[in-house]
Chain A
Amino acid sequence: MRNAFLRTAVGAGLVLVLAACGGDPTESTTGGGAAAGGDTIKVGLLHSLSGTMAISEVTVRDAELLAIEEINAAGGVLGKKLEPVVEDGASDWPTFAEKANKLISQDKVATVFGGWTSASRKAMLPVFERHKALLWYPVQYEGLESSPYIFYTGATTNQQIIPGLDYLKEQGKTKIFLVGSDYVFPRTANKIIKAYAAANGMTILGEEYTPLGHTEYSTLTNKVVQAKPDAVFNTLNGDSNVAFFKQLKSAGVTAESMPVLSVSVAEEEVTGIGVDNIVGHPVAWNYYQTTENAANTKFVAAFKAKYGDAKVTSDPMEAGYNAVYLWAEAVKKAGTTEVEAVKKASGGIALERPEGLVTIDGETQHMYKTARIGIIQPDGLIKEVWNSGEPIKPDPYLKSYPWAGSLAS
């Protein structure tokens, strides 16, 4: 009897645990009601709220919720309020596909804002294409993709990685060591970097990958130090950055002796890494909390008012925040939430955003964005030291770069 009881208790406990992982029920509104009908327009927010990616994705969801709140306060879209339906992708790519399916088929949302890792986007892509539904993807990525049912509000490679290389070249750093996590984004990024280096007289001294979640960097640090590069191009993702920078610092590497340019470290990550360990190193993005313009002052103030003074704003958060506004603008222009009409209306929409002017490129459904290189400051914020001067036309397949000819295939 006792054993049977315990077994039931444990079973129930496990179910509870799994349910807890599946997402906060209070945040998720389910049930019928078509997007077009009723007094509200449902929009889906699909990010990892649990698991290893929650660290980053929760902040993007927060920014998207803020945008929805602001749009509703200003009267909503087409006279209707937006109603967020929040789902948890749980850092698990099949779950992303499944939840995307649920949002589209069951909740009948007008559009979905979601994803972070390229793997989650690749998992969701067929779902959105099959249902002819819209996904707004807010993170810089490796390019070489242009789905008709995805809008990419983060940077593609020619708006982040290539400007990063331009910056290193301008600084006279020609011997580069590549360090990245072992998955699609870093490997593709490094292919592009190698092609760029070959065409621009730069040398790649080494190329090293570590599994996601890797935390032992002493050997890799030794290899980097022995190779004596001018700079390191870092495409590590997630918690690995913390271990990498801590161990680099204790091996005596400083930003002066060997700058490490990162493309996945933003304001959010700096605290976890420890400012001490990363101060002075450069990063490449399109937006920083310190970017100066009226739209950003308003965004930062609103974000801190809603989520607390200690919170910082970062590039992916800003791209998620923009996505909601850009979609709302396209819906207003189209006069409907119907997907094909929204897609058609979206081309050429230009908004002054916290990162500066953002224009939707109708052809690729990517954005014109200004590239910015920043240096990490002792207070944990990032100060811009270089920018591309004007928004760069998105070129996900790098068709306008002669040296990149072999990459697109």
Chain B
Amino acid sequence: MEGILNQLPIGLSIGAVLLLIALGLTFTFGQMGVINMAHGEFIMAGAYTAYLLQDFAGRNAVLVALPVAFLVAGLMGLILERTAIRHFYGRPLDTLLLTWGVSLVLQQVARDLFGAPNVQVLSPTWLQGALGPMPYNRLFILLLAVGSVVAIWVYMNRSAQGRRMQAVMQNRQLAATSGINTGRVDQRTFFIGSGLAGIAGVALTLIGPVGPTLGTYYIVDAFLVVVAGGLGQLRGAVIAALALGLLNSYAEFWTNASLAKVIVFAVIIAFLQFRPQGLFVLRSRALT
């Protein structure tokens, strides 16, 4: 019985991890329609940022790394968008191939810079221990996810930039004719989306491996959350991440890890049969 109860916070924390890795994608994939296979490598860049900052910040590197990783991954995303992706808007297949190539290049760069073996990122001493069944580092990730969602919501709904972003997402042509510089908005969206991947990377150093292939472990899950939640839908992503987290946690508890993956995939496929556009659908009059 205790085991079953423990799975509830575990499910929430799995959901929080899913949400963190998917948040950035709700921007780049969800809003701009860019299938960015290199998103996982931006997560990796965030994790390595925490690793590098240990030299200056010691065990608290994780905290210092949060804003730095946002900038590092964000700038990487911005460069990718400016130099390559913008030439491929509206051509999802080409974008997919392009960003997949970029992800391989970035993995190899990481391997050359930091070596193939995983590196060690020490977690802060104050994150050791647990509150009941919930380890502090999981609690930290949960709070970080909540914080990120709140920050994004405020930005999207309360700032002029965020509202412009929404306008472009809902109807690009109309936004452009209203005088919004859609190119600038795209840059900003990509910067924020990629930056959020960096933050996720820092958080993942607390619970997982930090190595060149880190991103590949999370990229599929991130896309699943965005697709199940509905493209570009913040609340969709939140609900989908938590639901998938809980589903995963109980499916694995009652069966095993391999079967739980199958169950999760099967449920998502079945769900998409009924709601092909995900939990929430953006209704707009744009002709797309």
Contacts and interface: CB of A to CB of B under 8 A. Distances in A.
Interface stretch (A30-38, A210-218, A352-360): A210-218
A219 B207 contact: no
A13 B103 CA distance: 12
B257 A239 contact: no
B258 A271 contact: no
A6 B97 CA distance: 13
A274 B217 contact: no
Given A54-B116, A182-B258, A251 B209 contact: no
Contact of B209 (A13, A210, A239): A239
B3 A223 contact: yes
Contacts of A213: 213, 216-217
A122 to B, nearest CB: 20
Interface stretch (B27-35, B72-80, B130-138, B160-168): B130-138
Contacts of A269: 117-118
A47 B256 CA distance: 32
B61 interface: no
Nearest to A91: B213
B149 interface: no
Interface in B72-103: 87-88, 94, 97-98, 101
A268 interface: yes
A6 B91 CA distance: 12
Main secondary structure of the interface of A (DSSP, over half): helix
B94 A211 contact: no
A214 B121 CA distance: 19
Interface string B102-138: 0011001001000011111111000011100101111
A220 B6 CA distance: 11
Contacts of B97: 10, 14
Interface string A280-322: 0000000000000000000000000000000000000000000
Main secondary structure of the interface of B (DSSP, over half): helix
A243 interface: yes
Interface string A197-230: 0000000000011110111101110110010000
B111 A216 contact: no
Contacts of A182: 257-258
Contacts of A222: 3, 6-7, 10, 133, 253
B256 A208 contact: yes
Contact of A214 (B118, B137, B257): B257
A223 B3 CA distance: 7
- Kindly state the interface size class of chain B when it binds its partner: 35 or more
B130 A219 contact: no
B13 interface: yes
A6 B252 CA distance: 46
Contact of B122 (A17, A247, A276): A276
Interface string B14-55: 100100000000000000000000000000000000000000
Given A58-B116, A208-B257, A218 B206 contact: no
Contacts of A243: 207-209
A119 B146 CA distance: 42
A251 B257 contact: no
A153 interface: no
A246 interface: yes
Given A246-B206, A250-B137, A6 B87 contact: yes
Contacts of A214: 257
A195 interface: no
A228 to B, nearest CB: 11
Contacts of A219: 7, 10, 14, 248-249, 252-253, 257, 260
A156 to B, nearest CB: 26
Interface in A231-273: 239, 242-243, 246-247, 249-252, 268-269, 271-273
Given A20-B105, A209-B257, A215-B208, A239 B120 contact: no
A271 B98 contact: no
A342 B133 CA distance: 59
Contact of A10 (B7, B98, B210, B216): B98
A21 B107 CA distance: 10
The 5 tightest CB contacts between A and B, nearest first, are A272-B118, A242-B209, A250-B135, A210-B257, A239-B209
Given A219-B7, A252-B130, 5 more contacts: A10-B98, A182-B258, A210-B258, A249-B128, A252-B129
Interface of B: 2-3, 6-7, 10, 13-14, 17, 87-88, 94, 97-98, 101, 104-105, 108, 111, 116-123, 128-130, 133, 135-138, 206-211, 213-214, 216-218, 248-249, 252-253, 256-258, 260-261
Interface of A: 6-7, 10, 13-14, 17, 20-21, 50-52, 54-55, 58-59, 182, 208-211, 213-216, 218-220, 222-223, 226, 239, 242-243, 246-247, 249-252, 268-269, 271-276
13 contacts: A6-B87, A13-B101, A50-B111, A216-B17, A219-B7, A219-B253, A222-B6, A239-B213, A246-B206, A250-B130, A252-B129, A268-B117, A269-B117
